[in-house]
Structure formats: structure tokens, C-alpha cells
Amino acid sequence: MQNAKNKSRDNSRKNIYTVSQFNKSVRTLLEASYPIAWIEGEVSNLVRPASGHCYFSLKDEGAQVRCALFKNRLNKISAKIEDGKKIIVRAQVSLYEGRGDFQLIIESFEDAGEGQLIKKFEQLKNKLLSEGLFNESAKLALPDFPKRLGVITSPSGAVIHDVITVLNKRYPALPVIIYPSLVQGETAAENISNMIKIAGERNECDVLILARGGGSLEDLWPFNEEIVARAIFNCKIPIVSGVGHETDTTIADWVADKRAPTPTAAAILISPDQADIKSLLIELENSLIKLSNTKIQNFSQKIDFLTRQLKIPGQQIEHFLSRIQGLGKRLATTMRFSLSKKQQLSERLILSINSLQPTNRLLFQKQHVENLTGRLNSSCNEILSALQNRLQGLSRELNAISPLETMARGYSITRVVESGMIFRDGEQIKKGDMIETVIKNAAIVSKVEKITKQ
């Protein structure tokens, strides 16, 4: 048992760290485990050594944490830092190995009042994300060799100078159109969106850069407005967003067809390098020369082959004369056959034309009308005769069953005067009834005095 404990203690000592190794391991673990975070607090114990870096503590009512803001980051932040000021920092969790101090490496910061802007930023980002404005499927492809570039930015700032400088080095043949716009202030968002719409309506560029230099969240806020985001999304020309520094992210970056970390990077992104183009042209030139030499060699071999196949001129002439004579005979035969066909066609057309003359057609139509008139009269007479015969037959049948014919043979009809009821049975007659007896050509009214049963 004692040996097992000693062995376990020996194994644990194999993992003994030096202080430097341990602090480095902890720092690596912290930086890998915690993402960049936004933290709000009050500045205290601010120190500015000659190195240009800035060290301070960020505290609230219950705790504090050491912070380091290095010179290269500090120079890119327009906001001022001072003791007692409430700020919101964007920081990476880390460890200062030399003293083993837990600390935050500050990437940027802003006044605490800008916390509402951050909340507004997140709300708009989530809204536009749900509507699909950030979808990759909606983004337009950038042209490989743009014909004309449009830059939406302030015409008096350093941004446009940086963009043009890059283009002159990389692709000086690219024309640039500047769409002047405010990039900061209350009316900047509306101004930017109007310039995007104007560029889209003019359609004089095949790619646009939306650019502005770095600044605080408040400075960059026009690029976080919904009106700008929707103008970018609705634009039919691909837009590259180059707003702020590499660590700055705006709504415009999310909606744009391509995001560049800086305006200079945006210019690099859309412009092909003339050195690369020159190398490509040299490569194409060498390929063309090689292809041309191959073609020349092939044609030379073909010419040599055809030269060997070339016959004596006299024999060629006799061959062509013989061929011409044969073609002449075939042409004469073909022409005679064609003329015969044309003549037959002409005769048929003449017969057709004669048959279509107005005088002949009128005579034919007149005779046709007379024939139809005769046939119509004959048919009408036959129909009338048949109808008359049928009428006479029906009249005879009607007379045969008519009561009048029956009465003409000595029969009569007797009925009650009041009701008009016809007597069909002796049981219907009563003594004292007034009756009417109808015979041929007369009607006799009488009173029943006596009824004799039969």
C-alpha cells in the first residue's frame, strides 16, 4: 500500500511546471475558452507610461479587473479615457504572465451611454437576420475585371485618397466615380441611402465601395441604420463594405455583398493587381507564340504534301477541259428538261386563267341559277300537291267521325238545359226536367212528362 502511494506521488511529480510555464498555460487556456466580450464599468487607477500604452482598472460596486489598452489600439479610438468615466469595453480575457495578473486586453471602448446603441444594434441585426437580408444566397458576385468603380464616401476625407492610391498602384486603368455623401451625423444615414439609390438608378458602375474611416460606435452609427441596410440590399449593383477598422463591425457589413476590414482592403478586394495581369499576359503571349509555331509547322507539312501531289499543268488543263465539257452537256440536258416543265406549267396556267374570265363564269353561274330555279319550282309543286291530298284525306276521316254526320243519319243528342249535361243513360232523366234535343239543323226544347223504361 505504501509503495502504491509513493508510485502515485512520483507520477504526479512528472507534471511539475515552472512558474512561467504554468502562467503561459493558464493564459492560453483563458484566451481559448472565453470569447471577446463587452463589459461595462468605471475607470480607476489610470496610468499612462512613456510607452504610450494605457493601464487601468475597470470596477463596479462589487469587483474590479485590471485592463491593458495598447498604443496601437488606443490611437484608433476617438473617445477619451479618464478616471471616473463609465465606459463599455470590448475585450479579450487574458493573463499577464510576468506577474500572474488576470486582466482584460482592450480592443475598443465607448462611453457607457452608447450601451443603448449596442442594444439597438443587436435588435436591428436580429430583425434583418430573420428577414433574410444577411443570406449568402442573396449576395451578388463581384466582377473579376470591373469596368467602372463607384465610391460612396466623404469626398474630403482621407478614405477616398487611400482608395485612389491603392487603385493607382494595382489597377490604374479603372475609372472611379465618387458619390459624395456624409458619413457621420444625424442626416448621414439618409444621405448614404440616397447615394446608393442614385448609383443604382444611374447604373454607370459595375461595383460600388461604401467606405468610411474608423471611429466610435456613435461615429459609425449611420452604417447601422435600417434605411442604409435596406438600400444596400435593394441595390442591383454589388456593394463592398469598407467601414471603420478591422475590429469594427456594422449592419452594413452584414448586408453588403462583400465585407472588407478597411476602405483600403475594399479597394484591394475589387481591383485586380496589374502585376498579376502582366504575368498572365506574358503567360498568354508565350502560349500564343507556342500555338502559332505549332500551326506554322502543321501548315508547312501540309504545303509539302500538296506540293508533292501537284500534277503537270498540261494534264491539269486537259482534265479540267474534259470536266467542263461533261458539265456543259449536263447543263444543256437540264435546261431542256426545265424548259419543257415550264412550258407545260404555262399551258396549265393559261387554261386556268381562261376558265376564270368573268364572262365565262357569269354564263356558267346564270345557267346554274336557272337549273336551280327549275328544280325549286318542281319541288314546290310536288310538296303542295302532296299536302293537298293529305288535307283531303284528313277531312274525309274527320267528317266520318263527326257528330253532325251521325245526326244526319237520323240520330240526336239530348242534354239538360240548365247544366248542359248530355244524357247517356235513362236513369239520368227525371220527370219535369227541361231538356234540349239536338238533331240535324235544329234544336228542340221540351219538358219531360213521362219516362218509359226500356
pLDDT greater than 70 at residue 357 = no
CA dist., res. 43 & res. 57, Å (int): 6
pLDDT (tens digit per residue) in 239-285: 999 998 877 789 999 999 999 999 999 999 998 887 777 888 888 88
As a whole number of angstroms, the distance between CA 27 and CA 19 comes to: 12
DSSP string, 143-208: PSS-S-EEEEE-TTSHHHHHHHHHHHHH-TT--EEEEE---SSTTHHHHHHHHHHHHHHH---SEE
Domain boundary among 272, 297, 332: 272
Element (H, E) at 267: helix 263-270
Tell whether 365 is covered by a domain. no
Whichever domain contains 45, its CATH number is 2.40.50.140
The residue from 115, 144, 179 where one domain ends is: 115
- With vertex at residue 224, the alpha carbon angle to CA 234 and CA 193, rounded to the nearest 5 degrees, is 40
pTM above 0.95, yes or no: no
Q: Are residues 176 and 79 in the same domain?
A: no
Judge whether residue 397 has pLDDT over 80: no
| Residue 46, in any domain of the structure | yes
Q: What is the mean pLDDT of residues 85-95?
A: 89
Q: Which residue has the higher pLDDT, 431 or 221?
A: 221
Using DSSP bridges, classify how beta strands 64-69 and 86-96 pair: parallel, antiparallel or unpaired.
unpaired
Tell me the percentage of the chain whose pLDDT exceeds 70. Answer: 90
Which helix H or strand E contains 101, and what residues bound it?
strand 101-111
pLDDT given for residue 370 in this prediction: 85
What is the rounded CA–CA span in Å between residue 363 and residue 331?
48
Indicate whether 172 and 81 sit together in one domain.
no
Average pLDDT over residues 226-248: 92
**What is the DSSP-derived secondary structure letter of residue 138?**
G
Residue 237 and residue 200 in contact, taking contact as beta carbons nearer than 8 Å: yes
- Residue 321 reports pLDDT greater than 70: yes
Q: Above 90 in pLDDT, residue 219?
A: no
Indicate whether 336 belongs to any domain: no
Cα(252)–Cα(210) distance, integer angstroms: 9
Structural domain includes residue 452: no
- Total domains in the chain come to 3
Q: Which domain holds residue 433?
A: 407-447
pLDDT class for 309, splitting at 50, 70, 90?
low
Question: Same structural domain for residues 106 and 184?
Answer: no
Grid cell listed for 183: 458619413
Q: Which residues contact 210 (CB under 8 A, 6 or more apart)?
A: 152, 153, 192, 196, 223, 232, 239, 240, 241, 242, 243, 252, 256
Judgement on whether residues 27 and 90 belong to the same structural domain of the protein? yes
Looking at the structure, tell me whether residues 137 and 232 fall in a common domain.
yes
CA 68 to CA 75: how far, in whole Å? 14
The reported pLDDT for the residue numbered 325 is 81
First to last CA, the chain: 155
For 110-148, what is each residue's pLDDT tens digit?
877 656 677 788 889 999 999 999 999 999 999 988 999
pLDDT at position 57: 93
Same domain for 109 and 148, yes or no, is no
Give the pairing of strands 54-59 and 101-111. Answer: unpaired
Q: What is the pLDDT of residue 209?
A: 95
336: left (phi over 0), alpha (psi -120 to 50) or beta: alpha
Condensed to tens digits (0 to 9), the pLDDT of residues 156-195 reads 888 999 999 999 999 888 999 999 999 988 899 999 999 9
Neighbours of 194 (CB within 10 A): 15
Q: Determine, yes or no, domain membership for 266.
A: yes
Asked if 110 and 140 sit in the same domain, the reply is no
If we measure between CA atoms, which residue out of 192, 263, 183 comes closest to residue 226? 192
Q: Are residues 60 and 181 in the same domain?
A: no
Residue 8, in any domain of the structure? yes
Residue-averaged pLDDT of the chain: 84
176 in the same domain as 253: yes
The pLDDT of 348-376, averaged and rounded, is 76
Burial class (CB in 10 A: 0-12, 13-18, 19+), 58: buried
The answer to the question of residue 310 being in a domain is: no
Domain shared by 109 and 145, yes or no: no
State the amino acid at position 282 in one-letter form: I
The pairing of strands 442-447 and 434-439 is antiparallel
Which domain CATH number covers 205?
A: 3.40.50.2300
- Domain end marker among 62, 88, 115: 115
Q: What is the mean pLDDT of residues 411-429?
A: 79
Amino acid (one-letter) located at 225: E
Identify whether residues 199 and 249 lie together within a single domain: yes
Predicted confidence at residue 9, as pLDDT, reads 55
Higher pLDDT, 47 or 402: 47
Q: Is residue 298 part of a domain?
A: no
Range with top average pLDDT, 25-39, 144-158, 427-441: 144-158
Say how far apart CA 252 and CA 259 lie, in whole Å.
Answer: 9
Query: pLDDT band for position 421 (50/70/90)?
Result: confident
Are 168 and 260 in a shared domain? yes
